[in-house]
Structure 1
């Protein structure tokens, strides 16, 4: 087992095992390259353990692809799903030391080895499921200093998938790195097509009043877990399905993902009724949808299935608007446009029109497939790119830089754009108040977040 060290100890360890060199591709404007890799490696207990892992194919470097990130103090978490043999650890971190606000970040670090979290033993494959992480896609830290981790319990991808453990939620105390809770999803939460890769965490009045929302991308459902009740339930809705015309992608190569449903999710600030709004976006779609968490937290709604008209949708933005992640910060929705190798935004008190969807930064070499995006309370933005479609559909060139993590100032990125709040602090944003002509043209009151009894959704 490898110890979890403090930030500066870990940074020293990283620098010993890494090199600080120049990335051959420049970062997108407004961002700084912090880490980059030709291929992933790990902090093994010793060189002999690494050699043994390679010889036994417990570590096959070319099969390791980073997909998700989360930031908490001096730890940058990175997930690596077990899509094939040879992924020794699915939940990992690398240490970071932030410079004071306004100072330039440190130079980028090349091929930094990943440190298993919470340790090597927890990242072994298989049983006991309560104490194992098999495949992790997304993990989220909350304001109670807990790390919520959804383990899909799988090895493989697509037709090669083996379900070695049930889907389970693991909760870790980030101060002690100890597991403090485990919950196994109910059999009724999933179906034969279930693939859950994303979660968001909603902390209410206190740390016990917490809900987790998990998107079933291929089984087309939304699972709600109540920490207070230690129980979960499932919603199903046509808005969770992919758009039949949204399954064509051109990211490094042309391919089709026509089955990918609900994926990217984010919570707004608390609204006047005491609940948040959950924004969600099927991957193979050009449209965002939304629902009040008041609906989702009502288990009787899920049981009775009387909730069709409680869900709402925004206009279709058209091709090149696939996203895998979205983050609300200071009244602005940041999102990754994976088709455009870009980060964009929409200011939440503006009409949801194409002209209000702003491209903040992009780069067609260093920013291919921005898989995940996070923003700290300080406004520091983090993004990871991983060339996932090339990895899945073809093969990566491991002589090239394939994976990068960037940081930047979210406030500076939106300065002077239609997303700029002009220095205002948004403790909560206003519901959309669209012009009547725009409202009539598209979908009546479904353009506004439902703080009142909305009219039925209109087609357009």
Structure 2
């Protein structure tokens, strides 16, 4: 009898779900204003409306954890910010690279400077200590949209906090419904100049490729970049809504023997996952488009209600982590196993993880994810007396222990 009990306890220990640690939490977002008067004036003139500032994207570099605040509504004081990893749980956001580069009126007609930031959803930190910022250039998206400047990539040197380069997308990169909200970067730290950025266009169902060395970009279209009409319905926090977002989540594997990576991708409103070699993306302008069409591959389907906003590949565990917005959690797939519904696990799920919007794995093997109740923010409004935004972390090996992803 004792042996049976010990066996049961052992199994329970192995299968016990790991619990992420709450690192940061806010009821409302606020910033490190230079003076109290600056904040008062910003509130008075509508440049800062606290309830309209919702954190959405994140990325870690050393003791900085970058947090983006897109200009969904009017009154977002600073779109690109960071907090200290070892700082207080409810600490104020610090504008990056400076206050003057972020505090831009929603009605502005141009950028104050080349390093100014309008509205950012997601950022990416590469192996060369550079921060890649996908700036949509669009303010007050849900109110009175104002395209202050065209969509662009802003690249900062994290060691100096200086802007290295800014690239504005070409007219041929965009369509009428184009919307750019994400970026992933493909680079070897031994050849930092030869970097490629891949930017999904969730509105016009394409991916824009940017070459830093060539300082040029090109647009790639494919059927797999479209949304699935059977997966466009959501129910989060008791709110039903319908989105038609196309390709959004991109994740890169480690380099293969040929030096290229596999790019995993999916439409937001879809439950399917696809992949393609970055060799095709890099050389697309020289390829036969008909032949290239067949090089995009379907991996499989994660199952019902598995729509995913963000994904990230962890080279240590060979696991692809992804958000589960309809299931208040984070999922995983071990890339060394077949892509089946059974091999896609829900690592953790809890009502407190309402709408996990972004996630990243840092170079220490820590998974970070941000939850922000976005549907309530858009369709209903948030209760400022409650904790509405949270950032959690967990070691990737601990996260998948006892699951099919281990």
**Which residue pairs with 1:50 in the alignment?**
39
Equivalent position of 1:109 in the other structure: 89
Partner Cα separation in structure 2 for residue 191 and residue 392 of structure 1: 25
Aligned equivalent of 1:359, options 346, 349, 354: 346
Provide runs of 4+ in structure 1 moved above 6 Å: none
Q: Does 1:368 align with 2:347?
A: no
Q: How far is the alpha carbon of 1:304 from its aligned partner? A: 5.0
Structure 2 equivalent of residue 346 of structure 1: 333
SS of residue paired to 1:296: helix
- Offset at residue 159 of structure 1 (A): 7.3
TM (norm. structure 1) is: 0.80
Q: Which residue of 2 aligns with 1:164?
A: 148
TM-aligned CA deviation for residue 109 of structure 1: 1.6
Indicate the residue corresponding to 2:391 in structure 1. Answer: 405
2:8 alignment partner in structure 1: none
Report the CA distance shift for 1:158/1:240 in structure 2 as closer, same or farther (over 3 A): farther
Choose the corresponding residue for 2:301, options 316, 340, 343.
316
In the alignment, does 2:38 pair up with 1:59?
no
Tell me the CA shift for residue 164 of structure 1. Answer: 1.2
C-alpha distance in 2, partners of 1:295/1:65? 36
* Secondary structure at the counterpart of residue 386 of structure 2: coil
Between the aligned partners of 2:209 and 2:216, the Cα distance in structure 1 is 8
CA contact (8 A) 1:166 1:185 kept: yes
Which runs of structure 2 are paired with 1:373-452 in the superposition (5 Å)? 373-420=359-406
Q: CA 1:129–1:223 in 2, change beyond 3 Å: closer, same or farther?
A: farther
Map of 1:213 onto structure 2: 198
Q: Partner of 1:332 in structure 2? A: 319
Work out whether residues 274 and 300 of structure 2, in 8 Å CA contact, stay in contact via their aligned partners in 1: no
Q: Does the CA contact (< 8 Å) of 1:155 and 1:163 recur in 2?
A: yes
TM-score of the pair, normalised by structure 2: 0.91
Compared CA separation, residues 306 and 124, structure 1 to 2 (3 A): farther
The answer on whether the counterparts of 1:234 and 1:302 sit within 8 Å (CA) in structure 2 is no
Equivalent of 1:30 in 3, 19, 23: 19
Structure 2 counterpart of 1:201: 185
1:253 has 2:232 as partner: no
Q: For residues 153 and 81 of structure 1, what CA distance do their matches in structure 2 show?
A: 10
Contact 2:218 2:285 in 1 (8 A): no
User: Could you say which residue in structure 2 is the equivalent of 1:432?
Assistant: none
* CA shift for structure 1 position 269: 1.1
| Structure 1 position 320, deviation (Å) | 1.4
Per the alignment, in what secondary structure is the counterpart of residue 392 of structure 1? helix
Distance 1:227 1:382 in 2: 28
2:168 aligned to 179, 184, 191, which one? 184
Distance 1:341 1:89 in 2: 27
Question: Aligned in 2, Cα 1:115/1:242: closer, same or farther, shift over 3 Å?
Answer: same
User: Structure 1 residues 305, 44: CA separation in 2 closer, same or farther (over 3 Å shift)?
Assistant: farther
- Which residue in 2 is equivalent to 1:456? none
1:120 is aligned to 99
CA contact (8 A) 1:244 1:258 kept: no
For residues 138 and 61 of structure 1, the distance between their equivalents in structure 2, rounded to whole angstroms, comes to 21
Give the superposition deviation at 1:306: 5.1
Q: 1:279 aligns with which of 240, 249, 264?
A: 264
Structure 2, unpaired ranges of 5+: 1-16, 105-109
Q: Per the alignment, do residues 321 and 154 of structure 1 end up closer, same or farther by CA in structure 2, a change over 3 Å counting?
A: same
